[in-house]
């Protein structure tokens, strides 16, 4: 049974149709890539899974049961964690405070209930080390880390808190080649750990490096839905770039 | 070293020492221990409010109604007890509910409508400012409330909100101790509790906070209610210290609270600051306020000095933060 299954999902913002009739499955130990141009509806799609928005049409099944998340907390409680495009970290807060934000460890009771700072610092350091990130100081503001490191902290965090589904919104968009590589490694690591991964990107090369399944969105509609063995990188790139439109453009631009 | 430099309080500590040395050098009476009692008292009247205002700023919001809410609480307690001839404690409790209600309303409107708190609380500020005077005139026929000093419960209330005691030749007002307590509680909440973590997060990046499950709305409403609580406390202090309340008081104090918080290292944009820094900011206010009197200068220089301190501290804080965040 898929962890998440969407069938015929639609979503509108007032009069704007952001999504129409989109279907998608997320399986444990697999990476589902959602591709599409800017404004294609990628972020909207994952916001429905992560509880920031609700769908108006179609069905969202989690573990085979219909679900509708009223808040990100509700999605998190079902094991669906999201790492947002705009880097869901609070730049001025220390790394360990970011790592445990919303799920802080405490000790003591009543008015003496307080943060277990030592345990959180230690856990943060250990969990990051397990992913190969060695921070000298987890007390430094997370804004001092590089974009790639921040993404990795967010991924490590999701895995630590028992996510079964990891949703990544364009984690490589703002990164250079080398840092993208590092992030893709952690995406693969999450898959190997048995998580179902939804990987949003508009870079077909990044998608093809790790993806098991590809869904291409175009102005809110599904344009393509293929397993890895059903499509080549070249075809994916061509579809992504607009398919026939690209061929036409190539002719147009060709010098004679 | 970088860690130390990154403390939000740094600018205010430097400013505090500078102001102290300055007035110590030029104003003879400033050197007497008895003056310290007065300086601490004046600082505490600002400092008690600066704590919740700083927390609110760290949480990314402002409260322009804080100053008039102090007066509104005092008026509520005073007029209710006097007009109905009740034990003053009835008024004390009723005004607490009132002040918390104002805080709740501010927080509710800000989180529900998404209108910036600057505007929402400007609205409640104007409403309270007008109502304070209008209702007082209506009820007591003048702009101040009637003296309540011979009413039941006055003495016990005064003992809590407005007493004082002597340490050698120095008179210490109770508000100074309350101030220390509030700063300690504020610091504890901010740095050692889950809600403290949430305060930094909702002010630093509200979308991220929401996405990881922080109760954004509750956090912000609680912060506004914290301001309401301390406004009530200060209102009770003014009422039981003077037995009567001037209905036009408190206007403009909201900016003094904010200035104390900013001098203490709070970022206007939220997500950064400290309760201790706000206490230092209040102390700078108290020292300057009294230092100018002790130096025999025209009291109008006070605002000038406060402005200089504000600019100095903000520039220093900005510079320090850049230094700290640079990799
Ligand atoms: N909160 C919103 N309110 C109104 N329109 C929105 C909102 N979010 C996205 N849209 C619109 O929905 C469409 C899809 O946006 P989005 O899901 O962000 O696309 P992508 O992430 O693929 O770039 C766009 O036309 C965008 O302008
Ligand atoms: Mg997007």
Q: Total structural domains in chain B?
A: 1
Instruction: Give average pLDDT by consecutive 10-residue segment, chain A, 256 residues.
Output: 92 92 94 92 92 92 92 89 76 92 92 93 90 83 84 85 90 80 87 92 91 93 90 87 72 76
Q: What is the CATH number of the domain that holds B295?
A: 1.10.3470
Q: To 5 degrees, how large is the angle CA B188–CA B284–CA B44?
A: 55
Q: What is the CATH number of the domain that holds A59?
A: 3.40.50.300
- Considering the domain boundaries, does residue A122 fall inside one? no
pLDDT for B294 beyond 80: yes
CA of residue A218 to ligand 1 center, whole Å: 12
What is the pLDDT at residue B202? 97
Confidence of residue B303 (pLDDT cuts 50, 70, 90): confident
* DSSP string for residues in B99-118: HHHHHHHHHHHHHHH---HH
Shortest alpha-carbon distance between residue B4 and chain A (Å): 12
Answer whether B197 sits within 8 Å of A101, measured CB to CB. Answer: yes
Note down the domain range covering A242: 4-92+141-253
What is the pLDDT at residue B128? 97
What is the pLDDT at residue B323? 65
CA dist A30 and B125 (Å) reads: 56
What is the pLDDT at residue B327? 43
Ligand 1 nearest-atom number relative to CA A38: 23
Residue whose CA is closest, atom 16 of ligand 1?
Answer: A41
Which of A3, A15, A2, A82 is closest to A48 using CA atoms?
A: A82
> Mean pLDDT, to the nearest integer, of B100-120?
97
The 3-state DSSP class for residue B48 equals helix
Q: Running DSSP on this structure, what letter comes out for residue A143? A: G
User: In chain A, what residues touch B214 (CB-CB under 8 Å)?
Assistant: 101-102
Confidence of residue B109 (pLDDT cuts 50, 70, 90): very high
CA of residue A236 to ligand 1 center, whole Å: 23
- Considering the domain boundaries, does residue A107 fall inside one? no
- Considering the domain boundaries, does residue A185 fall inside one? yes
CA of residue B271 to ligand 1 center, whole Å: 27
What is the pLDDT at residue B1? 47
- Please state which of the ranges B7-11, B88-92, B247-251, B301-305 shows the lowest mean pLDDT: B7-11
- Pick from B192, B204, B212: CB nearest A92: B204
Residues sharing a CB contact under 8 Å with residue B324, sequence separation 6 or more, in sequence order: A141, B2, B5, B6
- Considering the domain boundaries, does residue A100 fall inside one? no
Residue B315 — left, alpha, or beta (φ > 0 → left; ψ -120 to 50 → alpha)? alpha
- Considering the domain boundaries, does residue A128 fall inside one? no
- Please state which of the ranges A29-33, A241-245, B44-48, B292-296 shows the lowest mean pLDDT: A241-245
Ligand 1 nearest-atom number relative to CA A44: 17
Q: Does B194 touch chain A (CB under 8 A)?
A: yes
- Pick from A50, A71, A101: CB nearest B201: A101
Q: Over pLDDT 70: what percentage of chain B?
A: 96
- Mutation target among B211, B215, B219, B265 for the A interface, most CBs of A within 10 A: B211
- Mutation target among A53, A92, A100 for the B interface, most CBs of B within 10 A: A92
Residue whose CA is closest, atom 7 of ligand 1?
Answer: A13
Ligand 1 nearest-atom number relative to CA A53: 1
* DSSP string for residues in B260-312: HHHHTT--TTSS---HHHHHHHHHHHHHHHHHHHHTT--TTHHHHHHHHHHHH
- Considering the domain boundaries, does residue A97 fall inside one? no
With beta carbons less than 8 A apart as the criterion, state whether B39 and B16 touch. no
Instruction: Name which residue leads in pLDDT, B3 or B92.
Output: B92
With beta carbons less than 8 A apart as the criterion, state whether B67 and B251 touch. yes
Residues sharing a CB contact under 8 Å with residue B322, sequence separation 6 or more, in sequence order: none
What is the pLDDT at residue A133? 79
State the number of CA atoms in the 13 A half-sphere of A109 facing the CB. 0
Residues 197-256 of chain B whose Cβ lies under 8 A from any Cβ of chain A: 197-198, 200-201, 204-205, 207-214
- Considering the domain boundaries, does residue A135 fall inside one? no
Q: Total structural domains in chain A?
A: 1
User: In chain A, what residues touch B211 (CB-CB under 8 Å)?
Assistant: 50, 52, 72, 82, 84, 88
User: In chain B, what residues touch A50 (CB-CB under 8 Å)?
Assistant: 211
Answer whether B200 sits within 8 Å of A103, measured CB to CB. Answer: no
What is the pLDDT at residue B318? 79
Answer whether A101 sits within 8 Å of B210, measured CB to CB. Answer: no
Confidence of residue B2 (pLDDT cuts 50, 70, 90): low
CA dist B73 and B96 (Å) reads: 7
Confidence of residue B187 (pLDDT cuts 50, 70, 90): very high
pLDDT for B37 beyond 70: yes
What is the pLDDT at residue A156? 87
What is the pLDDT at residue B3? 60
Note down the domain range covering B30: 2-325
Q: Which residue has the tokens 């003048």?
A: B142
Residues sharing a CB contact under 8 Å with residue B298, sequence separation 6 or more, in sequence order: none
Residues with CB under 6 A from ligand 1: A 13, 16, 18, 36, 38-44
A165-169 sheet: strands from edge to edge? A80-83, A165-169, A196-201, A31-36, A213-218, A221-227
With beta carbons less than 8 A apart as the criterion, state whether A212 and A34 touch. no
Residues 52-91 of chain A whose Cβ lies under 8 A from any Cβ of chain B: 52, 71-73, 76, 82, 84, 86-91
Q: To 5 degrees, how large is the angle CA B195–CA B197–CA B201?
A: 110
Q: Which of A9, A24, A37, A39 to mutate to test the pocket of ligand 1 (most atoms within 8 A of CB)?
A: A39
For A32, B252, B299, B316, B318, the CA distances from B263, given in Å and listed in that order, are 50, 17, 21, 10, 11
Residues sharing a CB contact under 8 Å with residue B134, sequence separation 6 or more, in sequence order: none
Q: Over pLDDT 90: what percentage of chain B?
A: 78
Shortest alpha-carbon distance between residue A211 and chain B (Å): 25
E-strand ranges in chain A read: 4-13, 16-26, 31-36, 57-62, 65-66, 80-83, 106-107, 114-115, 165-169, 196-201, 213-218, 221-227
Token duo for residue B236: 């009770």
With beta carbons less than 8 A apart as the criterion, state whether A78 and A166 touch. no
pTM, two decimals, is: 0.85
Per 3-state DSSP, chain B is made up of helix, strand and coil in percentages (nearest 5) of 75, 5, 20
Token duo for residue B322: 């850049």
């Amino acid at each position: 049974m898929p962890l998440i299954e969407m069938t015929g999902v639609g979503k509108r913002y007032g009069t704007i149709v952001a999504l129409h009739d989109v279907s998608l499955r997320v399986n444990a130990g697999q990476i589902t890539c959602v591709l599409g141009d800017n404004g294609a509806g990628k972020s909207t799609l994952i916001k429905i899974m992560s509880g920031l928005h609700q769908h108006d049409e179609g069905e969202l099944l989690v573990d085979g049961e219909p679900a509708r998340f009223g808040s990100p907390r509700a999605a998190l409680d079902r094991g669906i964690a999201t790492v947002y495009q705009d880097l869901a970290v609070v730049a001025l807060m220390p790394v360990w405070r970011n790592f445990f934000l919303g799920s802080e460890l405490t000790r003591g009771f009543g008015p003496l209930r307080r943060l277990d700072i030592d345990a959180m610092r230690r856990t943060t350091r250990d969990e990051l080390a397990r992913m190969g990130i060695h921070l000298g100081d987890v007390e430094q503001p997370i804004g001092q880390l590089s974009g790639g490191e921040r993404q990795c902290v967010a991924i490590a965090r999701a895995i630590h808190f028992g996510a079964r589904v990891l949703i990544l919104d364009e984690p490589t968009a703002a990164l250079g080649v080398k840092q993208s590589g590092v992030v893709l490694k952690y995406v693969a690591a999450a898959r190997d750990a048995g998580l179902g991964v939804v990987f949003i990107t508009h870079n077909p090369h990044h998608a093809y490096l790790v993806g098991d399944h590809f869904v291409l969105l175009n102005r809110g509609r599904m344009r393509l839905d293929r397993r890895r063995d059903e499509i080549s990188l070249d075809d994916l790139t061509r579809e992504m770039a607009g398919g026939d439109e690209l061929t036409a453009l190539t002719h147009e631009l060709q010098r004679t | 070293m970088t860690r130390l430099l990154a403390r939000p309080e740094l600018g205010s500590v430097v400013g505090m020492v500078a102001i102290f040395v300055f007035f110590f050098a030029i104003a003879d009476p400033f050197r007497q221990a008895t003056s310290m009692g007065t300086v601490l008292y004046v600082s505490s009247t600002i400092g008690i409010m600066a704590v919740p205002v700083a927390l609110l700023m760290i949480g990314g919001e402002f409260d322009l109604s804080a100053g008039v809410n102090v007066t509104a609480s005092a008026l509520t307690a005073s007029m209710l007890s006097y007009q109905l001839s009740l034990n003053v404690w009835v008024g004390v409790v009723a005004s607490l509910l009132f002040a918390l209600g104002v805080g709740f309303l501010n927080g509710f409107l800000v989180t529900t409508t998404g209108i910036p708190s600057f505007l929402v609380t400007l609205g409640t500020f104007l409403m309270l400012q007008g109502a304070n005077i209008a209702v007082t005139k209506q009820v007591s026929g003048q702009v101040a409330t009637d003296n309540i000093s011979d009413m039941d419960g006055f003495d016990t209330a005064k003992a809590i909100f407005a007493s004082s005691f002597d340490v050698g030749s120095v008179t210490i007002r109770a508000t100074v101790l309350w101030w220390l307590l509030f700063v300690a509680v504020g610091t504890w909440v901010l740095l050692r509790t889950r809600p403290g973590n949430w305060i930094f997060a909702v002010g630093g990046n509200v979308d991220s906070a929401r996405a990881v499950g922080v109760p954004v709305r509750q956090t912000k409403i609680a912060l506004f209610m914290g301001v309401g609580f301390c406004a009530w406390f200060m209102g009770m202090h003014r009422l039981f210290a003077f037995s009567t309340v001037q209905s036009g008081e408190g206007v403009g104090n909201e900016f003094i609270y904010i200035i104390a918080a900013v001098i203490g290292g709070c970022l206007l944009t939220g997500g950064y600051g400290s309760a201790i820094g706000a206490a230092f900011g209040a102390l700078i206010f108290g020292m300057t306020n009294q230092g100018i009197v002790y130096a025999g200068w025209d009291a109008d220089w006070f605002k000038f000095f406060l402005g200089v301190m504000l600019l100095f501290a903000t520039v220093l804080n900005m510079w320090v933060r850049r230094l700290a965040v640079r990799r």
